[in-house]
A and B are shown apart, each in its own frame.
Chain A
Amino acid sequence: AQTVTQSQPEMSVQEAETVTLSCTYDTSESDYYLFWYKQPPSRQMILVIRQEAYKQQNATENRFSVNFQKAAKSFSLKISDSQLGDAAMYFCAYRSGGISNFGNEKLTFGTGTRLTIIP
């Protein structure tokens, strides 16, 4: 079974600064997907960024980027120019890929990191 670990329960960053959230995972699969979701106080889970394991290039979405280290099974999220609206719980999630897992939509989540933005 796959596991996802987020070792930072809480993080804080000054507004406009950069912060990195850590995530490690354990799997024996070679084809999979990794995600970062954001859950603000409204509780709506919002997709931040996604990475396919077969792609070597790190995904980027505006101020959000990842550092994907497949061999180390590490998937960190970097938020640049932090804004007050970035305050939320951030969850790292894993999903199996490959032909044998076609149709397996199950996401395995980490325990989350609560990010606070200091004005």
Chain B
Amino acid sequence: KAGVTQTPRYLIKTRGQQVTLSCSPISGHRSVSWYQQTPGQGLQFLFEYFSETQRNKGNFPGRFSGRQFSNSRSEMNVSTLELGDSALYLCASSLAEGRETQYFGPGTRLLVL
């Protein structure tokens, strides 16, 4: 079974631009979560989607948004990019049946100049 895939793997943007990252979960997984990893703040939870609905959201500004499609694929969008948004963005999926483990994708490394 294929693992979690994320595209693109690397991205360079400039301040003020917006960016969209994509995540395809493991086949059969219905929950997708997003995390931001930076050297200063570590791993922080962004949000989680299940059945096209956001079920949980971390403490991030409204510039960070996401959505999930009917096939469980998810996208996250960051508008009006700031230098501090430079990070590794990790996506994780799970069966979401109450006691399941999350499995991570390889991440998208975003650099904002």
Contact = CB atoms under 8 A, between A and B. Distances in A.
Contacts of B101: 35, 47, 50
B100 to A, nearest CB: 8
A33 B33 contact: no
B98 A44 contact: no
Contacts of B11: none
Q: Tell which of A37, A52, A107 has the most Cβ of chain B within 10 Å.
A: A107
B65 interface: no
Label chain A's interface by main secondary structure.
Answer: loop
Interface residues of A, number: 24
Contacts of B99: 33, 52, 97
Interface of B: 31, 33, 35, 42-43, 45, 48, 50, 55-56, 58, 88, 90, 92, 94, 96, 98-99, 101-107, 109
